[in-house]
Structure 1
Amino acid sequence: MTGFAVDRLIFGPDDIDLSRSPLAGHFDAETYVLGAFNPALTRLPNGNLAIFVRVAEALRKPVVDGHVQAIRWEEGRYCLDAWPLDLCDTADPRKFLVRGGAWKVMALTSLSWILPVELTPDGLEVVTVHYDKAIAPHASFQCYGVEDPRVSKVGERWLMTTCSVSPERHSTTLYTSENGLDFVFEDIVLDHQNKDMLIFEGQIEGKYWAQTRPLGDLYFAYPPGSEWRGGPSINLATSPDALHWKPHREPGIRPHAATVFTARMGGGTPPILTDRGWLTLWHGVEPREIVGIYRTYWSILDRDDPAKVVATSHTPLLEAAPALTQPLEDKMYVRDVVFTTGIADGGDHYIVASGEADLACRITHIPRETFQAA
């Protein structure tokens, strides 16, 4: 779906000063911003918005002397590892596979850190880039980076989930804040590969709720004729304190058999409470080539039982917008990707933040009535 009155890129690779990066000065190799994307979004106490941008910082020359290099944090420093090029599959620009094992082993072409950027209340102008509040690796379980922040305000506290990447584990980690900008590390909260943990912006009967998306290489088939398709889906979990999580027995949102547009799916924005129930924006992926086509969809979940879907739409809410990225054509490395990651109340509309083409941050104003149609 396109044609919203406000739909633009607000922040991208050219807006970042790498001399202020956490990686600056740690090794003798030039880096660049592969992408500044997938921003969390929240409203600050002063009325401004803040996005938390995933900055993927990559080596300008990753292949040196027949080896492909990767950036890694180790004991407070960043260093480079070199892998023989003939052992690596570099077809995907975001990562490379290391051949020779009985299962997939990969390394990344970039290391990600999180950059808070303060915006005007409508989300359309940058106020301050808070390099001093950046979130970067600080432990071995984050040695390949901190990725994909999602921020929820629950009561008077802000909760940020991130993906922490390392050979040890691919875990979900929690940061908290009392003011929406200064976040402190709490702990690992999910000890398995889980790309999209989204904490509901509000409690249900005194419990925290979250959407999760555990991943694996094997999924069981639904019976022939089922309305559902086997594969990655959006699950639910509950917690008494936002640290200790229990999977919910009932399934959440599952890929529908009637469309290949959502053959893979995962969460996007933290669910927010509306008159109809919990509004959640999520992504569906249509398989195509290496990366696939990412689109944004929406559902409304029952306010008392989020396992029940009250309304949903099989028509994409957002699709990739090539016109927006045309000025950044020289930096494009994937296409057909919009990944929605944040939502805030804008009065008669919602302010929606997305990552566009794994490259830049997109802000879209979507009228409230859009979610009354289904």
Structure 2
Amino acid sequence: MTFAFDQLVFTPADVDLSRSPLAGKLGAETYILGAFNPGMTRLPNGNLLLMVRVAEALKHPVHDHHIHAIRWSEDGGYTLDPWPLEHVDTKDPRKFMMRSAGWKVMALTSLSWLLPVELSADGRSVVTVHYDKAIEPRRDYQCYGVEDARISKVGDRYLMTTCSVSPERHSTTLYTSDDAMDWTLEGIVLDHQNKDMLIFEGKIADKYFAQTRPLGDLYFAYPPGSEWRAGPSINLASSPDALHWKPYDRPGIRPHAATMATARMGGGAPPVLTDEGWLTLWHGVEPYGVVGIYRTYWSILDRNDPSVVVKTSHQAVLEPAPELTDPIRDQMYLDNVVFTTGIADAGDHWVVASGEADLACRVTWVDKSALI
């Protein structure tokens, strides 16, 4: 598929480390591991806002036979936690796994915070970077970072879900705003290991709806010959107030047995209402290497019952684009990943925001005729 515009619009080199929330608080040198997975919405002035996940990492995490992790502390500062090298597995550059826990326990090689980046109305260029509006950890349940914003506008209110990471839980938290610049943290709305929460941009039968993705290590098999494959799927939930969520009784989008390209899946951009129904962009993961190959797919959901898939396609909308990351290849630690996180209406096309290679922000114009 070809696009009229498909570029990286924000990269690690565009982040001013001197204006980071961590600046001067660590006593150690850091660098930007990635500036990626941006939530996106249209501001009241017509411009687009990217809420960029900035993963800030230690330049020298290993010393004195220990690897170190960054942690926010209750006094508003940041500290470094040392872990003996013989107790960890460091093959994934994004994290390290504890070897002796008896179950999966990990720590991160970076701490993430959110940076508002204002783009032109067409998404092609950066207008302003709002360092004064950056979002950093504020509660114990965010002590390892705030990740992967998704922004929906429902009525006159902006709703932003994020993943908050801590030893207590890996939870989904909600922020609200009247202008998409000044955000109020409302607290945890989904508990441990429920990621990629996307609130629909509009209500259904006077209720808020959201896509969710509970994670786990155990899934029950479908019957032999089923069209579905067991594994992570995109579930649904509803709420009277966007704070208290009830899981929907019927499943949402499930991995299809006919293709391995979506053996794992999760939500991408918040669903938007079209004449056909709710358009949802989501990611599918084909098993390959350490993390797999991430691509973006689309489905149309019934406007009154989003558990009903009206239309979909096994053909990806977006593929990883190595030609875009070639100029910054020396900074790459992953490849084969495009992770879509935002969508905005632009008349005859959609402006789609994605994270590319867990490194940079990609903006693509997708013709509306390609998604019907």
TM-score, scaled to structure 1: 0.99
The answer on 1:107 being equivalent to 2:121 is no
Structure 1 stretch 338-347 or stretch 180-189: which is displaced more?
180-189
| Unpaired stretches in structure 2, ≥5 consecutive residues | none
AA of the residue aligned to 1:327: P
What secondary structure is seen at the aligned counterpart in 1 of 2:101? coil
The Cα shift of 1:182 comes to 1.3
Superposition pairs of residues 221-370 of structure 1, within 5 angstroms: 221-370=221-370
The answer on 1:29 being equivalent to 2:28 is yes
C-alpha distance in 2, partners of 1:253/1:191? 21
C-alpha distance in 1, partners of 2:3/2:132? 34
What secondary structure is seen at the aligned counterpart in 2 of 1:271? strand
C-alpha distance in 2, partners of 1:263/1:371? 22
C-alpha distance in 1, partners of 2:50/2:326? 23
Correspondence for 1:154: 154
Correspondence for 1:68: 67
C-alpha distance in 1, partners of 2:191/2:318? 31
The Cα shift of 1:3 comes to 1.7
Correspondence for 2:142: 142
AA of the residue aligned to 1:129: V
Q: How big is the alpha-carbon RMSD for the aligned residues of Structure 1 and Structure 2? A: 0.5
C-alpha distance in 1, partners of 2:138/2:108? 18
C-alpha distance in 2, partners of 1:283/1:67? 35
Q: How many residues align?
A: 371
- CA deviations on 1:143-180 (whole Å, 9 max, x unpaired) are 00000000000000000000000000111000000011
Correspondence for 1:118: 118
Correspondence for 1:40: 39
Correspondence for 2:57: 58
C-alpha distance in 1, partners of 2:167/2:251? 30
What secondary structure is seen at the aligned counterpart in 1 of 2:214? coil
AA of the residue aligned to 1:356: E
Correspondence for 1:86: 86
AA of the residue aligned to 1:255: P
The Cα shift of 1:289 comes to 1.3
Correspondence for 1:197: 197
C-alpha distance in 2, partners of 1:344/1:295? 19
AA of the residue aligned to 2:10: F
- CA deviations on 1:239-278 (whole Å, 9 max, x unpaired) are 0000000000000000000111000000000000000000
What secondary structure is seen at the aligned counterpart in 1 of 2:371? helix
- CA deviations on 1:207-253 (whole Å, 9 max, x unpaired) are 00000000001111101100000000000000000000000000000
Superposition pairs of residues 154-173 of structure 1, within 5 angstroms: 154-173=154-173
| Unpaired stretches in structure 1, ≥5 consecutive residues | none
Runs of at least 4 residues off by over 2 Å: none
C-alpha distance in 2, partners of 1:40/1:181? 13
C-alpha distance in 2, partners of 1:194/1:9? 29
C-alpha distance in 2, partners of 1:182/1:338? 29
C-alpha distance in 1, partners of 2:103/2:289? 21
The Cα shift of 1:194 comes to 1.3
AA of the residue aligned to 1:227: E
AA of the residue aligned to 1:66: H
The Cα shift of 1:99 comes to 1.1
TM-score, scaled to structure 2: 0.99
The answer on 1:7 being equivalent to 2:6 is yes
The Cα shift of 1:192 comes to 1.7
